[in-house]
A and B are shown apart, each in its own frame.
Chain A
Amino acid sequence: MNHAIITSLEEIDSLDFIPTLIVGFYHYENKKIFLELYNTFHKHFPHADIVGCSGESVIYHTTPHIDIDGTNRCTFVCLEMKKGAYSLQLLSSGEKPHINTDKNLHYSAIVLESCYTNNTEKIISLLNEEPNINQFFGSISGLSSSDLNQGTIFYNGIFSSDKTLFWFIDENHYFLKGLSQHNFNPIGYSLEITHTEGYKLLEIENEPALDIIEKMIGTINHESLISFDHPFFITTKSKQNDAENMTPLSSILSIDREEKSITLYKKVKNGDKLKLAIPFSRKKQESQLENFSQFYTKDSIAFLFVCISYRGHWGKMEPIYLMHLAKNLNVPFIGFHSLGEIGSLTSKATSLMQNQTLTLAVLSERSL
């Protein structure tokens, strides 16, 4: 599979293959530049599908270069994939989730969503239930209920702020493998969430949520909120028998002192269980990055969805840690900072909606 990461218009002419699919990532505020680049790509490759997704910032790595801090505000990967070996589907958030795939084939998938909606968890469940969909990974660009930048999806010339893009990959020709990893351990007892409203935790163990959490972790201040210091392990009622290493994290979006509530990045339900999380040692966090070396496959390209909390945790050291990942993975990657990731925490688990993860999906051509 031919592929190339393109970060500027000048590089288009140097392409020595005709891409069939171009995937681009752009900063929220750079839709205009992205559209200009799209037009140029479209002129050069009128038959190629061109899709994209916005993010907090764009990440790309082509050895030995790594860029995450906006030197390039739009980044593309051009792929020469076989005709019919992939399909794209766009789904509106108001639509009832459905999947259009050939039931006789098996697929991996990349799912890019403009924002977290009521449909998100349903889509993930649907993909998990589809017998012909195996591995899938993805990312959420924005959050509809927040004042954060609205995420958008781009599909052949049109931006949408309420859509989900599915990129189904025929496993007869290509395969995806990957993992989501976070840097936290659960600690203490499971606490029952007893009163919720959408994303809001109102009561835990029948006490005001903020009171009970602050009793254990101390005052949640602005600094700890923007640094995403205190994620929680949230186990839904149906998954309470699952192993702890399969439980996803959920970050705090905001708190309301008057209401004594905590708003998360994900929906919560009464009866879900909550556990506090404490970060691994730096040593373990670094060695976790080395785990990704297992996904090295020759001539592959990887997609990297990094939660914005990583920037919070790693600060200015993030490029250094991503360099460490790049050195161990040894596969060029492209991605962005997201507000939610879709992936699985172990190779055996099904994909779930995650927070605070570094989610990597490596796309490789199946050798015949």
Chain B
Amino acid sequence: MRTKLCIEDKQIIIKRIRRTFKIDDIEAEQFYNEMEESLFNKNKNFFYSVKYNMHFQKDTYFSEKVLQFAITTFSFLLKKEIYHSEEKKIKNFFQEYLKIILVEPSTYAKEIERRRDNVQNILQHVSEQLNQSLDVQQLMIANISHEMRTSLNTISGYIALIDEKNTLDTENKGYLEKANHAAHTLESLVSDILDVSKINSGQMEIKEESFWLDEMIEKAIDNITFILNKKNLTFKTDIEFFSQKIIGDYQHIMEIIINLLSNAIKYTDIGFVHLKVTNLEETDNTIKILFEIKDSGIGMTPKQLKKIFNPFSRFEKERQGVGLGLHIASKLASKMGGEITVESTADKGSTFRFTIKVKQDKQNNIDMSNFILCFLNNTKETKVSQQKLDFLKQFNAKVTCFKDEKTFINYLTSSKNDTPHIISILSYQNAYDRFNALIHYLKTLDKFKKSYFIAEGINPKSTLNYFDKVYERFTPITTYIQILDTIKKSNKNTISSNIKALNILAVDDIETNLEILKLFITNKYPHVTLDLATGGYEAIGMYKTQNYDMILMDLKMPGLSGFQTLEKLKNIKNPPASYALTADVYKSTYDQVIEAGFIDLLEKPLQLDILFATIEKAIDEKYNS
């Protein structure tokens, strides 16, 4: 019985191996020896080696070469007469060879596919299960945050009332301030958690509203003034003039700016924080705005930079916060189609850039004809001032400008001129005290009784009692518009809003909430009648016997909910402007509220400026429409 192939054939096959697999003589001979051993001694090592190489070889044509070699060697051997006695053995060998190189890998591939299907199936079921749990979790967060916000509403309300009464001694005032600070921290934490939850669940609503950018920036800066004043930092701004309203999410854009500014202040102990707002690119309908916040703070290492937008990233634990702010800001920015980028060097400072493209609102129904505005600017700054003056003139305002203090005073004191409605002064710091005295005098004159005096570019520490409005930077456009609007209205009706009567029905199951609401409203508007109902049915009873101008309704009440109560009120008679009060601030709640027939939703804890603006609106509608 043959145990080897003849030497000539061995040489031919080795040559073929070398050529096919592009290997050297030694490797080719080793390959041949393994093959021969398998052929005559039924050892499987050769097959394993080939299969191993096919599986782990990176050469994608290797399998093709293996097949090519098998076919050519098989036909070569079978043609040889000397191997006719070994034909069965040779056939068996190549049958096994082909089975191992072709059939087994394909069976294996099928097995992998079957197992992949299994995994897919499991993943699908598990993801459904996880989604269900996420829904429950979201509901839980919403409920917890509702309860926390409700409680915080009470805490903050009482703190504000105690503070307003001003009956505490210095020590107790300090305690109250700390309690107030803790309440605010908790409030912002609850708000952050809610934001993250809303972003993650796709519930974060991006609103499109029209607003003046400079007014939003002014408000953002106001918001950080408190923490800024605690530090000895130089705060500078360089804000371009934006002559059109923009359309975007006012609240969220402002949140991002506040977050970036407060972070800059938080991580800067010495030096400066700069805010620069630039009009990057403007088309007919859109505008690309860059907000750049630069500081000379602690900066970040490249490793820290990589994690900067991750949730709970805080690099100095002793600094306040839980590290959600930047995470939220970056998510919000991207949700609005914007982007936040950062450059930073450890110990030198950071520069955050927030870029956003928004639409421009060209429908400005502003009419300033018949309004007289008088400006003094004796500083070197001319660019923004000029842009603003051009803007005001565009809406037919009569604008008079002075660069010289004396001429300006002469103009004001000369009786032959029409009295300006707004007098705005931008001057050097040491001149403002003089102007303050001048205004004191002017206000004693009848003709200036209805004029508004504005100071721009003032030092925050100055006390200018007689100016009606003071700005550290430029007066936002909205200020002019609002003042002129007020003047228009006061021309129509001279009764001040705080003496106008208004009947409000407030419904909330938590009595402390009602109590706080009453104290806030009646303090500010003594002529407002506020009826309090602690439940839906009580409210219905009151509604039947009284006429109300406004309804403030808590949504989550035992028994009849706010929605159900409103529905029942509608059946009695057409309800007046009704506002939902709730701590649930999910988009779905907003949608439900509007659908139910409420005018809007007031979030708890109640923000006083929003509450008062809502009441003012109701007064305005009652008396001026």
Q: Which A positions have Cβ atoms within 8 angstroms of B?
A: 64-67, 69, 71, 187-189, 215-218, 223-224, 227, 229-230, 276, 278-279, 282, 313, 315-317, 319-320, 323-324
Contact = CB atoms under 8 A, between A and B. Distances in A.
B126 interface: yes
B118 A224 contact: yes
A316 B129 contact: no
B119 A278 contact: yes
Interface residues of B: mostly helix, strand, loop or mixed?
A: helix
B322 interface: no
15 contacts: A66-B48, A217-B121, A217-B125, A218-B118, A229-B118, A230-B118, A278-B119, A279-B119, A315-B104, A315-B111, A316-B104, A317-B51, A317-B55, A319-B51, A320-B48
A64 B51 CA distance: 14
Nearest to B100: A316
Nearest to A216: B125
B104 A317 contact: yes
Nearest to B119: A278
A56 B439 CA distance: 103
A216 B56 CA distance: 34
A188 B55 contact: no
A315 B125 contact: no
Contacts of A215: 125
A64 B53 CA distance: 14
B44 A71 contact: yes
A298 B44 CA distance: 28
Interchain residue pairs A-B with the least CB separation, the first 4: A188-B126, A316-B104, A216-B125, A218-B121
B45 A64 contact: yes
Interface of B: 43-45, 48-49, 51-52, 55-56, 100, 104-105, 107-108, 111-112, 114-115, 118-119, 121-123, 125-126, 129-130, 133
A316 B45 contact: no
Contacts of A313: 115
Nearest to B121: A218
Given A230-B118, A317-B51, A319-B51, 10 more contacts: A65-B45, A71-B44, A189-B129, A217-B122, A217-B125, A218-B121, A218-B122, A276-B126, A316-B104, A320-B48
A58 to B, nearest CB: 14
A315 B107 contact: yes
A187 B126 contact: yes
B345 to A, nearest CB: 38
A273 B201 CA distance: 29
Contact of A316 (B43, B107, B119, B123): B107
Contacts of B123: 187, 278
Contacts of B48: 66, 319-320, 323
Contact of B56 (A188, A227, A324): A324
A223 B55 CA distance: 25
A290 B119 CA distance: 24
Nearest to A215: B125
Contacts of B52: 320, 323-324
B129 A317 contact: no
B45 A276 contact: no
Given A229-B118, A324-B56, A315 B108 contact: yes
Contacts of A324: 52, 56
Contacts of A223: 114
B48 to A, nearest CB: 5
B108 A317 contact: yes
Contacts of B100: 316
Nearest to A286: B56
Contacts of A323: 48, 52
Contacts of B130: 188-189
Contacts of A65: 45
A313 to B, nearest CB: 8
Contact of B55 (A229, A276, A278, A320): A320
Given A218-B121, A323-B52, A279 B115 contact: yes
Nearest to A313: B115
A116 to B, nearest CB: 26
Given A64-B45, A66-B45, A323-B52, A316 B108 contact: yes
A230 B125 CA distance: 14
Contact of B118 (A66, A187, A217): A217
B411 to A, nearest CB: 77
Nearest to B55: A320
A222 B45 CA distance: 32
A28 to B, nearest CB: 22
B406 to A, nearest CB: 80
Contacts of A276: 122, 126
Nearest to B108: A317
A213 to B, nearest CB: 10
Nearest to A188: B126
A189 B125 contact: no
A102 B249 CA distance: 77
A189 B119 contact: no
A317 B119 CA distance: 20
Contacts of B44: 67, 69, 71, 319
A230 to B, nearest CB: 8
B294 to A, nearest CB: 44
A165 to B, nearest CB: 31
B126 A282 contact: no
Nearest to A67: B44
Nearest to A219: B121
Contacts of B115: 227, 229, 279, 313
Contacts of A66: 45, 48
Given A316-B104, A324-B52, A216 B119 contact: no
A113 to B, nearest CB: 30
B201 to A, nearest CB: 19
Nearest to B56: A324
A320 to B, nearest CB: 5
Contacts of A216: 122, 125-126, 129
A320 B45 CA distance: 10
A313 B112 CA distance: 9
A68 to B, nearest CB: 10
A66 B129 CA distance: 45
Nearest to B111: A315
Contacts of A229: 115, 118
B621 to A, nearest CB: 53
